Structure 1
Amino acid sequence: MGILRLILNVIWLLFAGLPLALAYAVAGAICCVLIVTIPWGIASFRIANYVLWPFGRTVVERPSAGIGSTIGNVIWLLVAGVWLVIGHIVSAAALAVTIIGIPLALAELKIIPVTLTPLGKRIVPSDTAFATLGSIRI
Protein backbone atom coordinates (compact mmCIF):
# COMPACT_ATOMS: atom_id res chain seq x y z
CA MET A 1 0.00 0.00 0.00
CA GLY A 2 2.96 2.33 0.62
CA ILE A 3 4.10 2.36 -3.02
CA LEU A 4 0.56 3.19 -4.18
CA ARG A 5 0.43 6.15 -1.78
CA LEU A 6 3.80 7.34 -3.06
CA ILE A 7 2.68 7.14 -6.70
CA LEU A 8 -0.62 8.92 -5.98
CA ASN A 9 1.15 11.62 -3.95
CA VAL A 10 3.68 12.29 -6.73
CA ILE A 11 0.93 12.50 -9.38
CA TRP A 12 -1.12 14.63 -7.01
CA LEU A 13 1.79 16.97 -6.34
CA LEU A 14 2.29 17.62 -10.04
CA PHE A 15 -1.34 18.09 -11.07
CA ALA A 16 -3.11 19.55 -8.04
CA GLY A 17 -0.89 19.86 -4.97
CA LEU A 18 1.37 22.72 -5.98
CA PRO A 19 -1.33 25.13 -7.23
CA LEU A 20 -3.59 24.48 -4.24
CA ALA A 21 -0.74 24.71 -1.75
CA LEU A 22 0.18 28.05 -3.28
CA ALA A 23 -3.41 29.24 -2.82
CA TYR A 24 -3.33 28.22 0.85
CA ALA A 25 0.09 29.80 1.33
CA VAL A 26 -1.16 33.10 -0.14
CA ALA A 27 -4.23 32.98 2.11
CA GLY A 28 -1.95 32.22 5.08
CA ALA A 29 0.41 35.08 4.26
CA ILE A 30 -2.50 37.51 3.96
CA CYS A 31 -3.91 36.29 7.28
CA CYS A 32 -0.54 36.73 9.01
CA VAL A 33 -0.38 40.42 8.09
CA LEU A 34 -2.62 41.34 11.00
CA ILE A 35 -2.08 40.03 14.52
CA VAL A 36 -5.77 39.19 14.97
CA THR A 37 -5.85 36.84 11.96
CA ILE A 38 -2.67 34.87 12.72
CA PRO A 39 -4.62 31.74 13.86
CA TRP A 40 -6.18 31.53 10.38
CA GLY A 41 -2.78 32.02 8.80
CA ILE A 42 -1.32 29.15 10.80
CA ALA A 43 -4.29 26.93 9.90
CA SER A 44 -3.88 27.86 6.25
CA PHE A 45 -0.18 26.93 6.28
CA ARG A 46 -1.05 23.64 7.98
CA ILE A 47 -3.58 22.84 5.25
CA ALA A 48 -1.06 23.88 2.57
CA ASN A 49 1.27 21.21 3.95
CA TYR A 50 -1.58 18.67 3.88
CA VAL A 51 -2.53 19.60 0.32
CA LEU A 52 1.02 18.95 -0.89
CA TRP A 53 1.03 15.29 0.23
CA PRO A 54 -2.54 14.17 1.21
CA PHE A 55 -2.48 10.40 0.66
CA GLY A 56 -1.68 8.59 3.89
CA ARG A 57 -2.89 11.46 6.08
CA THR A 58 -6.31 12.40 7.41
CA VAL A 59 -8.01 15.12 9.42
CA VAL A 60 -9.39 14.55 12.92
CA GLU A 61 -11.26 16.85 15.28
CA ARG A 62 -9.38 18.41 18.16
CA PRO A 63 -11.53 17.62 21.21
CA SER A 64 -10.31 20.66 23.11
CA ALA A 65 -11.55 23.09 20.45
CA GLY A 66 -14.15 25.44 21.88
CA ILE A 67 -16.47 28.23 20.88
CA GLY A 68 -13.54 30.35 19.70
CA SER A 69 -12.80 27.80 16.98
CA THR A 70 -16.44 27.81 15.91
CA ILE A 71 -16.56 31.60 15.64
CA GLY A 72 -13.21 31.63 13.86
CA ASN A 73 -14.44 29.00 11.39
CA VAL A 74 -17.50 31.10 10.52
CA ILE A 75 -15.28 34.10 9.82
CA TRP A 76 -12.85 31.93 7.79
CA LEU A 77 -15.72 30.50 5.76
CA LEU A 78 -16.93 33.94 4.75
CA VAL A 79 -13.50 35.42 3.99
CA ALA A 80 -11.39 32.64 2.47
CA GLY A 81 -13.02 29.24 2.82
CA VAL A 82 -15.57 29.67 0.04
CA TRP A 83 -12.92 30.69 -2.50
CA LEU A 84 -10.63 27.82 -1.62
CA VAL A 85 -13.52 25.32 -1.83
CA ILE A 86 -14.33 26.62 -5.31
CA GLY A 87 -10.71 25.92 -6.24
CA HIS A 88 -11.03 22.36 -4.93
CA ILE A 89 -14.27 21.75 -6.85
CA VAL A 90 -12.85 23.09 -10.11
CA SER A 91 -9.70 21.05 -9.67
CA ALA A 92 -11.70 17.90 -8.78
CA ALA A 93 -13.83 18.28 -11.89
CA ALA A 94 -10.74 18.63 -14.07
CA LEU A 95 -9.05 15.62 -12.46
CA ALA A 96 -12.14 13.40 -12.74
CA VAL A 97 -12.05 13.55 -16.54
CA THR A 98 -9.51 10.71 -16.72
CA ILE A 99 -9.65 7.33 -15.04
CA ILE A 100 -6.34 7.81 -13.25
CA GLY A 101 -7.54 11.22 -12.04
CA ILE A 102 -10.58 9.85 -10.21
CA PRO A 103 -8.68 9.01 -6.97
CA LEU A 104 -7.15 12.47 -7.13
CA ALA A 105 -10.57 14.05 -7.58
CA LEU A 106 -11.82 12.13 -4.55
CA ALA A 107 -8.84 13.45 -2.56
CA GLU A 108 -9.84 16.98 -3.60
CA LEU A 109 -13.31 16.38 -2.23
CA LYS A 110 -11.85 14.87 0.97
CA ILE A 111 -9.99 18.13 1.63
CA ILE A 112 -13.11 20.33 1.39
CA PRO A 113 -14.33 19.85 5.01
CA VAL A 114 -11.01 21.03 6.47
CA THR A 115 -11.04 23.90 3.99
CA LEU A 116 -14.43 25.02 5.26
CA THR A 117 -13.60 24.72 8.96
CA PRO A 118 -9.82 24.62 9.55
CA LEU A 119 -9.76 25.61 13.22
CA GLY A 120 -10.16 22.82 15.76
CA LYS A 121 -8.72 20.16 13.47
CA ARG A 122 -5.47 18.16 13.36
CA ILE A 123 -3.83 16.46 10.39
CA VAL A 124 -2.46 13.05 11.34
CA PRO A 125 -1.13 9.98 9.53
CA SER A 126 -4.04 7.76 8.41
CA ASP A 127 -2.80 4.75 10.35
CA THR A 128 -2.85 6.67 13.65
CA ALA A 129 -6.19 8.41 13.14
CA PHE A 130 -8.26 5.70 14.79
CA ALA A 131 -5.80 5.34 17.66
CA THR A 132 -6.13 9.09 18.22
CA LEU A 133 -9.92 8.89 18.23
CA GLY A 134 -9.79 6.25 20.95
CA SER A 135 -8.15 8.72 23.33
CA ILE A 136 -10.96 11.30 23.14
CA ARG A 137 -12.79 11.72 26.41
CA ILE A 138 -16.44 12.64 26.18
Structure 2
Amino acid sequence: MNCLGNLLWIIFGGLITGLSWLVLGCLWCITIIGIPIGLQCFKFASLSFMPFGKEVVYGGGMGSFIINVIWLLLSGIPMVIEYVVLGALFCVTIIGIPFGLQCFKLAKLSLMPFGSTIRN
Protein backbone atom coordinates (compact mmCIF):
# COMPACT_ATOMS: atom_id res chain seq x y z
CA MET A 1 0.00 0.00 0.00
CA ASN A 2 2.91 2.36 0.75
CA CYS A 3 4.28 1.78 -2.75
CA LEU A 4 0.95 2.70 -4.34
CA GLY A 5 0.63 5.75 -2.08
CA ASN A 6 4.13 6.92 -2.99
CA LEU A 7 3.48 6.43 -6.69
CA LEU A 8 0.28 8.47 -6.55
CA TRP A 9 2.01 11.03 -4.36
CA ILE A 10 4.71 11.65 -6.99
CA ILE A 11 2.06 12.14 -9.66
CA PHE A 12 -0.17 14.49 -7.65
CA GLY A 13 2.33 16.80 -5.96
CA GLY A 14 5.37 15.00 -4.63
CA LEU A 15 7.44 15.84 -7.65
CA ILE A 16 6.94 19.58 -7.13
CA THR A 17 7.65 19.47 -3.40
CA GLY A 18 10.68 17.21 -3.81
CA LEU A 19 12.11 19.53 -6.44
CA SER A 20 11.56 22.44 -4.04
CA TRP A 21 13.78 20.73 -1.47
CA LEU A 22 16.41 19.98 -4.14
CA VAL A 23 16.48 23.58 -5.36
CA LEU A 24 16.81 24.88 -1.80
CA GLY A 25 19.58 22.38 -1.14
CA CYS A 26 21.49 23.56 -4.21
CA LEU A 27 21.04 27.20 -3.19
CA TRP A 28 22.30 26.53 0.33
CA CYS A 29 25.31 24.58 -1.01
CA ILE A 30 26.57 27.60 -2.94
CA THR A 31 28.33 28.84 0.19
CA ILE A 32 30.65 26.73 2.31
CA ILE A 33 28.78 27.68 5.47
CA GLY A 34 25.47 26.51 3.97
CA ILE A 35 26.66 23.04 2.91
CA PRO A 36 25.38 21.25 6.07
CA ILE A 37 21.98 22.89 5.58
CA GLY A 38 21.99 21.93 1.89
CA LEU A 39 22.82 18.31 2.73
CA GLN A 40 19.90 18.22 5.16
CA CYS A 41 17.66 19.57 2.37
CA PHE A 42 18.79 16.73 0.09
CA LYS A 43 17.95 14.20 2.81
CA PHE A 44 14.44 15.61 3.17
CA ALA A 45 13.99 15.76 -0.60
CA SER A 46 14.06 11.96 -0.60
CA LEU A 47 11.37 11.98 2.10
CA SER A 48 9.33 14.48 0.13
CA PHE A 49 9.43 12.29 -2.97
CA MET A 50 8.23 9.19 -1.05
CA PRO A 51 6.67 10.06 2.34
CA PHE A 52 4.33 7.09 2.81
CA GLY A 53 5.62 4.50 5.28
CA LYS A 54 8.19 6.86 6.80
CA GLU A 55 8.11 8.68 10.10
CA VAL A 56 9.92 11.82 11.22
CA VAL A 57 11.40 11.84 14.72
CA TYR A 58 12.15 15.27 16.15
CA GLY A 59 15.02 15.96 18.52
CA GLY A 60 18.19 17.95 18.82
CA GLY A 61 19.71 20.50 21.10
CA MET A 62 20.54 24.17 21.16
CA GLY A 63 22.62 23.98 17.96
CA SER A 64 19.67 22.53 16.07
CA PHE A 65 17.41 25.23 17.48
CA ILE A 66 19.70 28.02 16.25
CA ILE A 67 19.98 26.52 12.77
CA ASN A 68 16.18 25.97 12.71
CA VAL A 69 15.62 29.67 13.45
CA ILE A 70 17.98 30.69 10.63
CA TRP A 71 16.30 28.15 8.34
CA LEU A 72 12.82 29.40 9.19
CA LEU A 73 13.71 33.01 8.48
CA LEU A 74 15.49 32.34 5.17
CA SER A 75 13.82 29.29 3.61
CA GLY A 76 11.28 27.66 5.91
CA ILE A 77 8.33 30.00 5.58
CA PRO A 78 7.88 29.52 1.78
CA MET A 79 8.14 25.75 2.21
CA VAL A 80 5.53 25.74 4.97
CA ILE A 81 3.17 27.85 2.87
CA GLU A 82 3.64 25.47 -0.07
CA TYR A 83 2.82 22.40 2.02
CA VAL A 84 -0.13 23.97 3.85
CA VAL A 85 -1.74 25.15 0.60
CA LEU A 86 -1.22 21.73 -1.03
CA GLY A 87 -2.53 19.97 2.09
CA ALA A 88 -5.65 22.12 2.19
CA LEU A 89 -6.29 21.46 -1.51
CA PHE A 90 -5.88 17.72 -1.02
CA CYS A 91 -8.17 17.65 2.03
CA VAL A 92 -11.08 19.09 0.01
CA THR A 93 -11.89 15.57 -1.24
CA ILE A 94 -12.15 12.38 0.79
CA ILE A 95 -9.73 10.57 -1.52
CA GLY A 96 -7.13 13.31 -1.07
CA ILE A 97 -7.10 13.29 2.75
CA PRO A 98 -4.13 10.84 3.06
CA PHE A 99 -2.15 13.09 0.71
CA GLY A 100 -3.17 16.16 2.69
CA LEU A 101 -1.98 14.53 5.92
CA GLN A 102 1.39 13.84 4.30
CA CYS A 103 1.57 17.50 3.28
CA PHE A 104 0.91 18.58 6.86
CA LYS A 105 3.60 16.14 8.10
CA LEU A 106 6.06 17.69 5.69
CA ALA A 107 4.94 21.21 6.65
CA LYS A 108 5.90 20.49 10.25
CA LEU A 109 9.23 19.17 9.00
CA SER A 110 9.70 22.39 7.02
CA LEU A 111 9.42 24.35 10.26
CA MET A 112 12.02 22.31 12.16
CA PRO A 113 14.17 20.21 9.80
CA PHE A 114 17.37 20.21 11.83
CA GLY A 115 17.79 17.73 14.64
CA SER A 116 15.13 15.46 13.13
CA THR A 117 15.65 12.03 11.61
CA ILE A 118 13.66 9.81 9.26
CA ARG A 119 12.58 6.30 10.27
CA ASN A 120 11.17 3.68 7.92
Secondary structure in 1 matching 2:55: strand
Please show how residues 51-130 of structure 1 align to structure 2 within 5 Å. Answer: 51-62=48-59, 65-125=60-120
Structure 1's consecutive aligned runs of 4 or more residues displaced over 6 angstroms after TM superposition are none
- Report whether the alignment pairs 1:35 with 2:38: no
Gaps of 5+ in 2: none
1:20 to 1, 17, 21: 17
Gaps of 5+ in 1: 126-138
1:45 to 39, 42, 67: 42
What whole-Å deviation, never above 9, does each CA across 1:30-61 have from its counterpart, x for those lacking one? 00000111121111111110011101001113
TM-score between the two structures when normalised by the length of structure 2: 0.94
Q: Larger Rg: 1 or 2? A: 1
Identity of aligned residues (%): 40
Output the aligned Cα RMSD.
1.1
How many residues end up aligned between the 2 structures?
A: 120
**Aligned-pair CA distance for 1:98:** 2.2
TM-score between the two structures when normalised by the length of structure 1: 0.82
